């Protein structure tokens, strides 16, 4: 699996990546908030 720089992803792109990993969609929002609101 190739590493991806998620810091440049939009919320929609991050949701798609999370879905492809088989993780719940809300996790993408949590990651996005962490990166852009707290990070």
Residue 39, pLDDT > 70, answer no
What torsion, rounded to 10 degrees, do the Cα atoms 31, 35, 38, 39 define?
Answer: 140
Mean pLDDT of the chain: 91
Contacts with 28 (C-beta within 8 Å, 6 or more apart), sequence order = 11, 14, 15, 17, 18, 19
37 or 19, higher pLDDT? 19
pLDDT score for 2: 83
Confidence of residue 15 (pLDDT cuts 50, 70, 90): very high
Domain boundaries, the chain: 7-37
Residue 1's SS3 state is coil
pLDDT in tens, 24-38: 999 999 999 999 887
Ordered DSSP codes for 2-39? ----GGG--HHHHHHHHHHTT--THHHHHHHHIIIII-
């Amino acid at each position: 699996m190739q590493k991806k720089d998620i810091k440049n992803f939009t919320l929609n792109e991050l949701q798609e990546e999370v879905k492809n990993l088989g993780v719940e969609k809300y996790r993408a929002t949590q990651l996005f908030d962490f990166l852009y609101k707290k990070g």
